[in-house]
Structure 1
């Protein structure tokens, strides 16, 4: 075990060096292998590589690392940029209070979840369209936030590394051995992701978490309990931020548009280790448009190479024997429904595109009394959650979210994760060549009701009220039209077998949140990571012959 950890540490160092070299050279191909390596050559038009992984998020990163360790030449295709080259201000990422073009994926205006304050549009900014780090994908009645860049969602999330309650995991994925998951794969994922915990003594005294202590006290008055939440943000770094010893990141209003310091995003963990195997190459600004299968069983990908301003530079075809879809719930689902309904992958079954859900996400906020301020200093990294998941009538796990405005707002903000049984479906629209999400606002009614049940109790116990001014121009206490946690679309055991092998096509795999049926009850990335570890272990042992 010690030797394995030492190997991983060395690989990670080699991979970090490769990422740094790529940024310094301004290239889109990232590799730690010699230039003659097969994976490096495979990005050329018409070339072949044994394994292709689409995306660089959690499931994709796990798959690439384990394939590389097994000696399989692997090409990762990422539609976003490598984020480690400073901009004109000396920072890689911009903060939430002064967003610029780096913030958003080809938008003319930022689309932050808090769209207003006192009903005034003072939050969002006009920007130049650019290959920024955060995308809000807008469907008819639901929008979904996703990360764009090497590391996917790990670049833009709050880093809350939460395992689901075992009883709920067994409910949503009864065909998966929970004992194996909780004894083996969750610990493996947490170790690789560098999950850590805030020091309770520092939490209790620092000004930066006054907002969370206020919400904890108010939840307690309603008879509700809170729990500390582990994170991939380095809490030791945060303490040094507070002491003025290092540049501020979490304490400098950075999170949804990326963290310049402190966060152990995937480019610093799994992806660095994958590159360090010498078998993995990442091509950035490469967007997979279509997938088809040849008579000999190989897969052919149609790929557009773009620049950071959105110009198409080339269209190429890349073929592989083993194809892993790790483009996230939205991306993997769209590729599959398009391939099925255009006849490119005719063996895909009717379950492809089904089982999608927003993990019961509902955002809400409460107005505190003037004598109960939440603090002008607020860490952007959540550290506490209200745990009412065992409430049989309305299970809720609510992140106590920051609102780091730099001034006192008297606002308590929350992202509630609820148990909503409603599911959506992706369908292919031939006119636009895109997947549309069939989901109505009414389907979020159970989630809103559950969140309202929880926060009505807190308001009653504290004689407080909801804020109605934060989610746009209309009077609105609950934001039910966006999701941070898209799940489903290629559900394990339905669209795939029990290890992510896609039904109807050999050597085709799903390795991301599309496997989870719409809900996991907590922030999902640790579950996605652990499930990917479980699945790829079986796939390499039983399926992979190319080395």
Structure 2
């Protein structure tokens, strides 16, 4: 074993000969893939026609708003308990191939499928030698939303499967000693003995074969990151992931269609990644009790007679236009639209008098999981490889002394970059609040870019040390001219409807029986690692209690 493992499946300058023009073209928007980080040999598509979307006037026992991690858990467990569930998803179903025969577009060549209702790409890392590399695209309900607030851009998955469609699949369980700061009102014993193992098993979490890793050309960049970390006295760890590792080995051997090794991640992965479509949602649909309506956006949830709720839903076309407005009735409603989506909806409903009894904690304690990015320029004798897997498999863990964990992330450009790239997750203490702006008629977030400074300082505990040891420097051309730190974004939004503050101890909105929050909005701003396993495990805990007591 060449390195330790973080968690485990059941717990936790251009290359010589390449012209400057070719190098810039080769990097392009693909640089963004570095930070976000099936199984069949063909693109995932279903020949069976999708069921008709929810009808105006329908009544459902359980309505789940969103199809990400929390919503998928709720739908599966409710269905297993005999409850019929309808899920509403603002994004597309992503089950039909495009003209190129693929469901998802490649990261190197983003097209209309790449971004949610934008006319120009906004890749997380989209500069090279200070030159912007974004490109114009047709407006479309694409898979990645780059939602811009005053001080931060929040990247979110749009489609059936939510964030599982666009993340790097790093399935990390927090250290038990950190858990009290993440969810202080939750018993860690039950989480680590029951719900984290349950979540990891259902998500299909696994770890790269360390022997194969040592010789795989596609992980040369990670081995360079490991070498630099160890020479600086920093611990390198293997990180669990939901990618099908056997499939990736076949990709590398040339016996399977390339997916991770073709840079597919930022705008979806056509083959090897076990997104929620292949795990929780597949099992939920197999019960025969779960139906999904894609391109349906919830506008309102209001009390109705008999303790039920009237839900107003807008049906969208692929240009973002509203084609129909429907009113449906639900006995119970589960908010699972993601931290931002759930928080915005609840804040709006409270402020506009639709759900006025929601408590004042709604909208508070939102955080960005301490995300900050950076790149380092390596020496010519430290090439990171032209072929890089888009799926990260290792990290540098300096949480004990520097409060930072850094993914060794790819730059899958297809050419040698002599660069190491990292997404850090830090213990940034700053929290923001969502509030309703009645003049503008929208929900706003008061995050300030300057609040990223603690994250930068914590990340420096790793990278200043490595640069000093290796005699290397930071790249200052990936986020704009002379800009070292990617401090303008997050991939891990958390909070806004925090457990045991905005809700009770299991996600109930107690002023309105039958309303629940069951997604990342429950977690106050930080998980110390990639958050989706914690979101999944917490949803497993909460829905089990809700089914046992409320149903």
TM-score (ref. length: structure 1): 0.91
Deviation of 1:197 (Å) = 1.0
Deviation of 1:164 (Å) = 0.5
CA contact (8 A) 2:315 2:322 kept: yes
Which structure 2 segments of 5+ residues have no match? 1-43
Give the corresponding residue for 2:23: none
Deviation of 1:434 (Å) = 2.3
SS in 2 for 1:422: coil
Of 363, 369, 372, 1:353 maps to: 363
Of 480, 485, 506, 1:478 maps to: 485
Distance 1:271 1:24 in 2: 16
CA contact (8 A) 1:349 1:503 kept: no
Distance 2:430 2:393 in 1: 29
Which structure 1 segments of 5+ residues have no match? 1-18, 30-39
CA displacement, residues 9-62 of structure 1 (integer Å, 9 cap, x when unaligned)? xxxxxxxxxx965x553x464xxxxxxxxxx7xx21122111100000000000
- Kindly report which structure 2 residues correspond to 1:23-34, keeping only aligned pairs within 5 A, or say none: 24-25=48-49, 27=50, 29=52
Deviation of 1:309 (Å) = 2.2
SS in 1 for 2:108: coil
Q: Structure 1 residues 110-119 or 324-333, which shifts more?
A: 110-119
Give the corresponding residue for 2:449: 441
Give the corresponding residue for 1:495: 502
Give the corresponding residue for 1:534: 541
CA contact (8 A) 2:45 2:97 kept: no
Distance 1:54 1:84 in 2: 20
CA displacement, residues 41-87 of structure 1 (integer Å, 9 cap, x when unaligned)? xx211221111000000000000000111111111000111112111
CA displacement, residues 241-261 of structure 1 (integer Å, 9 cap, x when unaligned)? 001101000000100100000
Give the corresponding residue for 1:175: 185
1:133 aligns with 2:140: no
Give the corresponding residue for 1:67: 78
Distance 1:52 1:482 in 2: 31
1:152 aligns with 2:159: no
SS in 2 for 1:456: helix
Distance 1:351 1:295 in 2: 27
Give the corresponding residue for 1:327: 337
Deviation of 1:295 (Å) = 4.6
CA contact (8 A) 1:511 1:532 kept: yes
Distance 2:48 2:85 in 1: 23
Of 345, 365, 371, 2:381 maps to: 371
Structure 1 segments (4+ residues) deviating >4 Å? none
Give the corresponding residue for 1:389: 399
Distance 1:438 1:76 in 2: 30
CA contact (8 A) 1:76 1:283 kept: yes
Deviation of 1:471 (Å) = 0.6
SS in 2 for 1:45: coil
1:200 aligns with 2:210: yes
- Kindly report which structure 2 residues correspond to 1:423-438, keeping only aligned pairs within 5 A, or say none: 423-438=431-446
Q: 1:20 to 1:108 in 2, by over 3 A?
A: closer
Distance 1:272 1:47 in 2: 24
SS in 1 for 2:344: helix
Distance 1:489 1:53 in 2: 18
User: RMSD in angstroms over aligned alpha carbons?
Assistant: 1.3
SS in 1 for 2:99: coil
Give the corresponding residue for 2:519: 512
Give the corresponding residue for 1:275: 285
Distance 2:155 2:365 in 1: 18
Give the corresponding residue for 1:35: none
Number of paired residues? Answer: 509
Distance 1:229 1:186 in 2: 15
Distance 1:261 1:452 in 2: 36
SS in 2 for 1:102: coil
Deviation of 1:409 (Å) = 0.5
Give the corresponding residue for 1:14: none
Deviation of 1:292 (Å) = 1.2
CA displacement, residues 75-114 of structure 1 (integer Å, 9 cap, x when unaligned)? 1000111112111111111111111011111111111111
Give the corresponding residue for 2:127: 116
Distance 2:182 2:198 in 1: 21
SS in 1 for 2:397: strand
Distance 1:370 1:133 in 2: 37
Give the corresponding residue for 1:164: 174
SS in 2 for 1:53: strand
Distance 2:418 2:45 in 1: 42
Give the corresponding residue for 1:84: 95
